Chains A and B, each alone.
Chain A
Amino acid sequence: MNRYLPWLFVALLASVPLWLTDFYFLHILITTGIFIIAAMSLNLLLGYTGQLSLGHVAFFGIGAYTSALVSLGFQVELFSGFTVSLAPKPAWFAMLCGVIVAGFTGYAIGKLSFRVRGAYFVIVSISFAEVVRLVAVNWVELTQGPMALTNIPALTLGAGAFEISFLRKPAFFILVLIAGVASFILISRLVNSRAGRAMIALRENESLAMSVGIDVTRYLVIATIISAAIAGMAGALYTHYIRIVDPDIFLFIYTVTMVIMVVTGGKGTLAGPIVGGIIFGFVPEFLRAMAIQPEVQWIIYGVLMVLVVYFLPQGIVPAIGRYSASRKRLPDADALPATSTQVRQK
């Protein structure tokens, strides 16, 4: 029974565009879905390797900007006389570029910043995101700075009469759902693999993990690459959905939103970011419906974050898991065991 539950959930979500006619609500579902994908990628670092990366929005933004720039084309003069130019490319190819560039950035950052841990790592990751944001603001020739890149092409599939444009919300919702399920399966396979166990081992006790021969930096870098690539994909999806991108995409507050989603839902659990993401995707709408000003909304966010750390330090999913775990499994595994076992059976 438990094994089919996630697929039932996916099927339910897939049917949403069939019966939901309110496009505003669908829009919220789409943006929430994109942020859930980003939160899942953050969870890989924060929950499984135990590294609090507070620069995660940089990968999201790099994916968004790369995809936007490749699909729009650009021409930049790097040094006097040396010009780099690129003709506009199809949106799908651009998205792929976004994923690859974000993943590569993850590799570079992972290689560089995992020489430090704890508080140092947190500060490096914040600094990195800030530097990227300032570059996006100041390199006007490439990014248009605060004027933003506009008219980013929408994703399309097929051609001529059979063309499906993902400009339409129902189609885009399905696309986000597919991307989300794919990311989920990728992450769940990864954390249940040898590499995933190595990551968890070094989260629990780094010295001990090293002493049994786990190459700490290597696994941290693998986790960062995958995490960054998924975040980059979320950013690329976002950009082709909103069709405008400006340096505000790098704001620290987006990282904080992802962190809140992961921590509230339960870091280090597969379902955690989804549960947290659904809650924090809808809380702002709920508060807005109650005509609460954005500042107050953020105050509530901040207070909620403190309360969650005090009263649900493990997050919601493990707390539910503990209630229902009078059975054989650990709370962690019990929270959402299905996909991992299912994938193995295939």
Chain B
Amino acid sequence: MDQLAQHLLNATILGGTYALLGIGLTLIFGIMRVVNFTHGELYAFGAYCMYALVMLLGVNFFLALPMAIMLGVALGATIEMLLLGRLRGADIDTTMLVMIGAWIAMQNTEQWLWSGVAHSINNPFPAEPLILGPLSVSWNRVYVVVVALLLIAATYYLVNRTRLGKAMRATFQDRQTAALMGIRIDRIHTATFALGSGLAAAAGALLGPIFFVAPTMGDLAAAKAFAIVILGGLGSITGATLGGFILAFVEELGAGYISSGYRDAMGFLLIILILLVKPTGLFARKERIG
């Protein structure tokens, strides 16, 4: 029983960062119709920013996080303007190929610059864990889940309560009409991509100090983000949030009770299962794409 409770607690904590990853990807797909293969690289980029800022430049741990997110936003905006800006209206396969190319180039640039060695990031939290009855959890993980939930809340606010969010939702519903209403679709695309990238970088910057920082860390993150988005339905923020938690629970329980070797396969099996049973995802209301 205690073991189960510990698994559930771990899953909740992991779920927060998964949700961040998923929301970023689902926003980009929902609004731009772009399958963003660079998402995992932005996650890795966030983690590397954290490593560079904290370990190499000696920036304060808590200050480094917003800086890493801002860098992620900047990189996202650059990618969007440089690569996707001229492909507006291109079909989904074309943008997908460009994003795959960008992903390969980015990942190998990381490998080239930082070498394949994994790095760890020191954190300023006390070494002894927080004890809650029979459960124990490290302070760093508590910090991660709190920040992740704050960021998710901030994204909800941005999308549902601000002018920019309204323009995003309008573009999502009907691009042409939104353009006719005077929304600058180009800017919405850049903003969306930058926002999604910032969230991915945030997830990387949060998880970097818990795990290791390595050039290939993005692959698994991207795969999981896809699983989450499929789970929740492409384009649904609520779906991505819940999907993040569901994936975390399935992985944690699967690894705990079935086989830890197949931990990372859980997400993929979940994708295949969901698409067989309910191709639109669990929470999407709109029609399926393609």
In the complex, what residues of A have CB within 8 A of residue B234's CB? 119-120
- A8 proximal to B (CB < 8 A): no
**Contacts A120-B275, A259-B97; is A306 near B83 (CB within 8 Å)?**
yes
A343 to chain B, nearest CB (A): 30
Chain A interface size, under 10 / 10 to 19 / 20 to 34 / 35 or more: 35 or more
B255 to chain A, nearest CB (A): 12
In the complex, what residues of A have CB within 8 A of residue B83's CB? 306
> What separation, in Å, do the CA atoms of A124 and B83 have in the docked complex?
25
In the complex, what residues of B have CB within 8 A of residue A252's CB? 219
| Of A88-96, A128-136, A164-172, A183-191, the one touching chain B | A128-136
In the complex, what residues of B have CB within 8 A of residue A128's CB? 268, 272
How many A-B contacts at CB < 8 Å in the complex? Answer: 127
Determine whether the beta carbon of A263 is less than 8 Å from that of B97: yes
Interface residues as binary, A293-335 with B (CB distance below 8 Å gives 1, 0 otherwise): 1011011011111100110010000000000000000000000
Interface centre among A128, A305, A313 (most CB of B within 10 A): A305
Determine whether the beta carbon of A116 is less than 8 Å from that of B275: yes
**Which residues 60-96 in B have Cβ within 8 Å of A in the complex?**
83, 86, 92-94, 96
**Contacts A118-B92, A118-B290, A127-B271; is A137 near B261 (CB within 8 Å)?**
yes
In the complex, what residues of B have CB within 8 A of residue A256's CB? 100, 104
A39 to chain B, nearest CB (A): 15
**Which residues 97-111 in B have Cβ within 8 Å of A in the complex?**
97-98, 100-109, 111
Determine whether the beta carbon of A121 is less than 8 Å from that of B223: no
> What separation, in Å, do the CA atoms of A304 and B108 have in the docked complex?
14
User: Closest residue of chain A to B103, judged by CB?
Assistant: A302
Determine whether the beta carbon of A115 is less than 8 Å from that of B289: no
- A123 proximal to B (CB < 8 A): yes
> What separation, in Å, do the CA atoms of A130 and B272 have in the docked complex?
11
Residues of B in contact, count (CB < 8 Å): 44
**Contacts A117-B290, A120-B230, A137-B261; is A303 near B101 (CB within 8 Å)?**
yes
Determine whether the beta carbon of A138 is less than 8 Å from that of B35: no
- B214 proximal to A (CB < 8 A): no
Determine whether the beta carbon of A118 is less than 8 Å from that of B289: yes
- B49 proximal to A (CB < 8 A): no
- A52 proximal to B (CB < 8 A): yes
- A28 proximal to B (CB < 8 A): no
> What separation, in Å, do the CA atoms of A228 and B230 have in the docked complex?
25
> What separation, in Å, do the CA atoms of A113 and B230 have in the docked complex?
14
Interface residues as binary, A195-217 with B (CB distance below 8 Å gives 1, 0 otherwise): 00000000000000000000000
A128 to chain B, nearest CB (A): 7
Determine whether the beta carbon of B108 is less than 8 Å from that of A126: no
Determine whether the beta carbon of B101 is less than 8 Å from that of A302: yes
B106 to chain A, nearest CB (A): 8
| Main SS class of interface, B | helix
- A112 proximal to B (CB < 8 A): yes
Determine whether the beta carbon of A305 is less than 8 Å from that of B101: yes
Determine whether the beta carbon of B94 is less than 8 Å from that of A313: yes
In the complex, what residues of A have CB within 8 A of residue B223's CB? 126-127, 130
Determine whether the beta carbon of B268 is less than 8 Å from that of A116: no
- A122 proximal to B (CB < 8 A): yes
In the complex, what residues of B have CB within 8 A of residue A124's CB? 271-272, 275
In the complex, what residues of B have CB within 8 A of residue A116's CB? 275, 279, 288, 290
> What separation, in Å, do the CA atoms of A79 and B230 have in the docked complex?
33
**Which residues 260-290 in B have Cβ within 8 Å of A in the complex?**
261-262, 264-265, 267-269, 271-272, 275-276, 279, 288-290
Determine whether the beta carbon of B108 is less than 8 Å from that of A120: no
**Contacts A126-B223, A130-B265, A134-B262; is A119 near B104 (CB within 8 Å)?**
no
Determine whether the beta carbon of A127 is less than 8 Å from that of B261: no
In the complex, what residues of A have CB within 8 A of residue B29's CB? 119
Determine whether the beta carbon of B226 is less than 8 Å from that of A126: yes
Determine whether the beta carbon of B108 is less than 8 Å from that of A123: no
In the complex, what residues of A have CB within 8 A of residue B213's CB? none
Interface residues as binary, A142-178 with B (CB distance below 8 Å gives 1, 0 otherwise): 0000000000000000000000000000000000000
9 closest residue pairs by CB, A with B? A118-B290, A302-B105, A305-B101, A117-B290, A302-B104, A127-B268, A295-B112, A138-B261, A306-B101
- For the complex with contacts A119-B96, A299-B109, A302-B108, 7 further pairs of A-B residues with Cβ separation under 8 Å are A115-B275, A119-B92, A123-B35, A134-B261, A138-B262, A252-B219, A302-B106
List 11 A–B pairs whose Cβ atoms lie within 8 Å, in order of A's numbering: A115-B275, A115-B276, A118-B92, A127-B268, A127-B271, A128-B268, A131-B269, A259-B97, A298-B104, A306-B105, A310-B86
Where the two chains meet, the residues of A that have a C-beta atom closer than 8 Å to any C-beta of B are 50, 52, 112-113, 115-124, 126-128, 130-131, 134-135, 137-138, 252-253, 256, 259, 263, 293, 295-296, 298-299, 301-306, 309-310, 313
Where the two chains meet, the residues of B that have a C-beta atom closer than 8 Å to any C-beta of A are 29, 35, 83, 86, 92-94, 96-98, 100-109, 111-112, 219, 223, 226-227, 230, 234, 259, 261-262, 264-265, 267-269, 271-272, 275-276, 279, 288-290
